[in-house]
Structure 1
Amino acid sequence: MLFALAIGVVFLATGLAVDYSMGLLNKTRVNNALDAATIATARAIAAGDVDPSVSNEAENYLKAVFAANLGVDDVDASKYDVSDIVVDTASQEVSAKASVNQGLYLTQVKLDEDAIKVASSSGVSYGISEVEVAMVLDVTGSMKGSRLKSLKKAAQDAVETLLAVNTPTDTKVRISIVPYAIGVNVGADLADYVYADSFKAKSDAPVYDASQYSASNKAYYDVEDFQDGYSTCHNWDVAYKSGGYFYDGSADDCWPFVTESSDNSNSDYCASERKAPLSSGKTNYQYTDKNPSFGLISRDARLNEDWCPSSPVVLLSDSETTLDNAITGFRANGWTAGHIGLQWGWYTISHNWSDYFPAGSKPADHKDPDEDVSKYIIMMTDGVFNTAYSGINSYGFYSGYQSATAYDHFESLCSQIKSDGITIFSIGYGLSDGSTAEMELDDCATDDTALTQYFYDADTSTELAAAFEGIADTIQNLRLTH
């Protein structure tokens, strides 16, 4: 008798578990399909492909997308129901409800019902906010050949997708490009904010002072005015290069300089990372986006100019031609300092730097409630970070300690950038499963959600293209409001 009673309880519990699992599955399917339908409808309205003023056009479009995501031909003839579709042109929102009648199995014995309704709702704003995207892209030596070709195509396709919402009269999306290798080529626009630094682990950065510059003397400071202990150096001596280091000709290594041309103009626009201050009592801006008035950015003497990326940074732009041409010009060479690329990517979309950028490239303030702007960084690499300058003394530069130090810098920057309200996507290309490089990229990216992927692990050129396109689509997908 006890066994018979137990069998009944087990039978009922199993039925409840089955019905509950089916309910959860149906709710997830309906919710995902409805989110996709409202987002697609909102995007279509924003792009002008659907006219909400035409009777039932938006509603029919939403139902068609909903049906396609569930694999049914006609929602009205299926077990699914879509209701309460609202396209509010005043608030620029699309909302809808959807449900499915789920048949009950053993639970109907308990409830005396043969089905229950599983429902979901979704709402999306199609008044798309402004978007700023920094694409931080690996152009190191390991990217030579087919890898670089694949990167160029994938990045250009993503640029096209991201800029598709722009119109001749309304710019919603701007993109910056930051190619990196052993350092970053900041180009003429940013060269004034980089100072010739020594090959030391720490350094006291001078602050930006426009009076130190002239039209024929770009990117040079009189370092003797800013650095104590180097008074024996002869400033502006023509430097020569030896073993990847830059010296001013003195025997005591008092100050290394970037090679000068005859008119004292900078012969390269290389830059490295910010360093912790050398002198006690000075504020450390190493992992911040503070502008040059708080301190210039180091151009470490160990940064071999022969390996500096030939392609300069492109500040925020809505010109597909400008961005495409920049990507087309990529050349692969040098080692990997991914944290330097990430740092400069942050600067290109930081409102703190807006006064130091030319018109048209000034980042908006995403913390101002009156400026509806979202900011993203796409961080891509194909290998292990193996180069750092900050925190590495000259004797340790070739000692193998650089990778761990580079990742320490990377982790700190990732954390600060995300805490600043910026979303990070990361792409690993051809990385070994479980490798440090893969785990660091995954940790750096914003945490994945049930519906959104932020870290992509691409092994082939096809997967790389899919990663960039997936990120571009995600950024373009309008935020869910409820």
Structure 2
Amino acid sequence: MAAKPAFSEAARRFGRDRRGNFGMMMAVLAPVLLLGAGFGINVAQMSNARSNLLAALDSAVTSTARDLTTGVIKEQDARASLEAFLFANGVRGFSRLDRLTLDSVVLDKHRKTVEAQASVVVDIAFPLFGAAAVQTITTESAARYSDRRIEVAMMLDVTGSMAKKGKTDKIGDLKDAAKSAVEALLEGNRHSPDRVRVALVPYAEAVNVGKELAGTVVFQEAGNGPVPPPNWARPSKLKDHCATERKLQDGKADFSDAGPDELREHFTKGKNGKTTAYQYKALVNRDERLGSCPSASLLPLTSDKSKLDTAIDGFKASGYTAGGIAAQWGYYMLSPKWRSTVSGAGLGAGPADVDPEKIAKIAILMTDGEFNTAFPEVTDEKDTNKQTTRSPNNARSVCAAMKKDGIEIFTIGFALPSGESAAARKVLADCASPDTPLTKHFYDAATGEELKTAFKDIVRNIERLALIR
């Protein structure tokens, strides 16, 4: 009978013993945890493979589209080009050649798109529940290509603050960066002549239009009024070849791109109360208060690299910063309304008609400081507050007109001084076109190398072909 209580006590002790519980729980949970970990690894592996394949295919498609656009390859060569780019990126990055396949290539000549589908074979790290140990991942990509031509107007600051000081050579940095940008832009002409043309507008407190375009400028004497006098024939009193802003009848700045031969009417009221009208050409004013004229003149659109390089080499730093005048002349150099004037002066074919499907019009506005010079509605040239209000606002108004006409604007601030940086950045950001997921439009460069990088990035953005899927 004594054995029964002993057995009962042993049973109670066993029931209270918890020392093996964790072992039992782990025995149950371990397979579940292992399956979860394996599934997570598989998902990550598949996601990584898909991402790598898409990146390689995107690169192959956009590179092929760019080569179609610039004339490097013909449409019949698209598949071979895609395969070359895809296999090079895939083998170098994430897969073996025998595991990559370019499944299909479709060129839509009407929509100007190239579409492709590709696959990659992946060994699964943890085949689960009878799933295949090998999986095939497929993805698609597409990009636009076109035969559009490109016109670029570069408005470049050659004011006194750009002058070399000690080891700092801002004007030298600008020359290097601008010449680099010109070279990169004109690469687009290697297989298609004149596909890309570039205009230069060096500016300070005015723009030197050169002797060929001097006939577009009228010298505005004191008391002359905002418009040219009735005898608006070619002015004979020009002190130089510089132009300030063009003015309307009321003396305000004219932000339009009207050609200089456009006829306008001006109304005057005599002492007898009778109103008379006369016509005048929409010439650009040369304000008599202008202090200095930049030595470097503008260069209309051209694909002649030697002319562009020579013009850039001639940049000299002096004068104040008239951003509104710079934007105005950049606008003119891209406007078809100035084509007859430019071609008539023997300065090339002039700007093409506006046609977004066939022509990309680009403006690049660069400065190293706050816009601080303007002449319309500024009666006292020493009124710096009015100057620094009018100049940036005039630039904004011209930029708005350019963007309305389909001109894409990039802006660059270069080594902006701390005292002017906020105002300068604000007007540059306002002037620039809106950013997109792939393209930024306002750049802030602190050094010469950063300036060169900004120009290179802008050139890439100009040629960039956005993925459409």
TM-score of Structure 1 vs Structure 2, range by shorter chain: 0.7 to 0.9
Matched, 1:342 2:327: yes
Question: How far apart, CA to CA, are the structure 2 residues paired with 1:392 and 1:26?
Answer: 64
Quote the residue 1:123 is aligned against.
143
Residue 205, structure 1, aligned to residue 261, structure 2: no
Task: Return the offset for 1:413.
Answer: 1.1
Partner of 2:32: none
Deviation string 1:213-272 (CA, Å, 9 cap, x unpaired) is 4xxxxx43xxxxxxxxxxxxxxxxxxxxxxxxxxxxxxxxxxxxxxx5xxxxx4410110
Q: Secondary structure at the match of 2:385?
A: coil
Please say if 1:366 is aligned against 2:354: yes
- For 1:55 and 1:447, the matched residues in 2 are separated by 32
**Per-residue deviation, residues 48-84 of structure 1 (Å, max 9, x unmatched):** 655665695312233046549xx71547577x87542
1:184–1:340 CA contact under 8 A, matched in 2:
yes
Find out whether 1:413 has 2:398 as its counterpart. yes
CA distance in 2, matches of 1:55, 1:196: 57
- Preserved CA contact (<8 Å) 1:203 1:275: no
Q: Residue 164 of structure 1 aligns to which amino acid in structure 2?
A: E
| 1:328 aligns with one of 284, 289, 313 | 313
Say which of 170, 174, 182 aligns to 1:147.
170
- Residue of structure 2 equivalent to 1:165: 188
1:176-191 equivalent positions in 2, closer than 5 A = 176-191=199-214
**Contact 2:438–2:466 (CA<8 Å) still a contact in 1?**
no
| Residue 425 (structure 1) aligned to one of 393, 401, 410 | 410
Determine which of 450, 457, 460 is the counterpart of 2:444: 457
Q: Give the structure 2 partner of residue 223 of structure 1.
A: none
1:361 positional shift = 3.3
Equivalent pairs: percent with the same residue? 34
Q: Check the 8 A contact 1:75/1:82 in 2, yes or no.
A: no
Check whether the contact 2:253–2:376 (CA below 8 A) recurs between aligned residues.
no
Superposed displacement of residue 333, structure 1: 0.4
**Distance in 2 between the 1:392 and 1:285 partners?**
11
What's 2:11 paired with?
Answer: none
- Cα distance in structure 1, aligned partners of 2:390 and 2:44: 48
Shift of residue 132 of structure 1?
Answer: 0.6
- Indicate the residue corresponding to 1:287 in structure 2: 255
Residue of structure 2 in register with 1:84 after alignment: 104
* In 2, Cα distance between equivalents of 1:319 and 1:268: 26
The DSSP-based 3-state class of the residue aligned with 1:316 is strand
Contact 1:38/1:124 (8 A) holds in 2: no
**Structure 2: which 5+ runs fail to align?**
1-41, 265-281
Alignment match, 1:477: 464
Using a 3 Å threshold, how does the CA distance of structure 1 residues 404 and 101 change in structure 2: closer, same or farther?
farther
CA deviations on 1:273-301 (whole Å, 9 max, x unpaired) are: 1224228xxxx771110111241111011
1:379 is matched with 365
Return the alpha-carbon distance in structure 2 between the equivalents of residues 57 and 419 of structure 1.
41
The 8 Å contact of residues 194 and 271 in structure 1, kept in 2 or not, is answered as yes
Residue aligned with 1:63, SS: helix
Supply the AA of the counterpart residue of 1:275.
Answer: K
Change (3 A) 1:38 1:54: closer
Counterpart position of 1:194: 217
CA distance in 2, matches of 1:26, 1:304: 64
Gaps of 5+ in 1: 1-18, 214-218, 221-259, 261-265
Q: How does 1:89-108 map to 2 (within 5 A)?
A: 93-97=113-117
SS of the residue corresponding to residue 450 of structure 1 reads coil
Q: CA deviation at 1:45?
A: 4.3
**TM-score normalised by the chain length of structure 1:** 0.71
Distance in 1, matches of 2:122 and 2:227, equals: 67
The alpha carbon displacement at 1:440 in A equals 1.4
User: Residue 128 of structure 1 contacts residue 478 of structure 1 at CA under 8 Å; is this kept in 2?
Assistant: no
Amino acid at match of 1:382: D
For residue 302 of structure 1, report the CA deviation from its aligned partner: 1.2
Q: Partner residue of 2:37?
A: none
Secondary structure at 2:188 match in 1 = coil
| 1:353 aligned onto 2:338 | yes
Output the CA distance in 2 between the equivalents of 1:374 and 1:172.
10
TM-score normalised by length of structure 2: 0.73
Report what 1:132 is aligned to.
Answer: 151
Whether the aligned pair in 1 keeps the contact of 2:143 and 2:465 (CA below 8 Å) is no
Pick which of 335-344 and 294-303 moved more: 294-303
After TM superposition, the structure 1 stretch with the greater mean CA deviation from structure 2, 20-29 or 335-344, is 20-29
Counterpart AA for 1:270: C
SS at match of 1:179: strand
- Specify which structure has the bigger relative contact order, considering alpha-carbon pairs within 8 angstroms and separated by 6 or more residues: 1
CA shift, 1:206, in A, is 3.2
Q: 1:74 to 1:25 in 2, by over 3 A?
A: closer
Q: CA deviation at 1:451?
A: 0.9
1:180-231 deviation per Cα after TM superposition (whole angstroms, max 9, x unaligned): 001100111221111111468x94323998x824xxxxx43xxxxxxxxxxx
| Kept in 1: contact 2:117–2:138 (CA 8 A) | no
What's the counterpart of residue 60 of structure 1?
Answer: 83
Indicate conservation of the 8 Å contact 2:90/2:97, yes or no. Answer: no
Q: CA deviation at 1:22?
A: 11
Residues of 1 paired with 2:49 and 2:377: CA distance? Answer: 54
Greater C-alpha radius of gyration: 2
Which residue identity lines up with residue 143 of structure 1 in the other structure? M
Q: Counterparts of 2:454 and 2:393 in 1: how far apart (Å)?
A: 26
Following TM superposition, by how much is the alpha carbon of 1:393 offset from its aligned partner in structure 2, in angstroms? 0.9
Structure 2 CA distance for partners of 1:22 and 1:442, relative to 1, 3 Å: farther
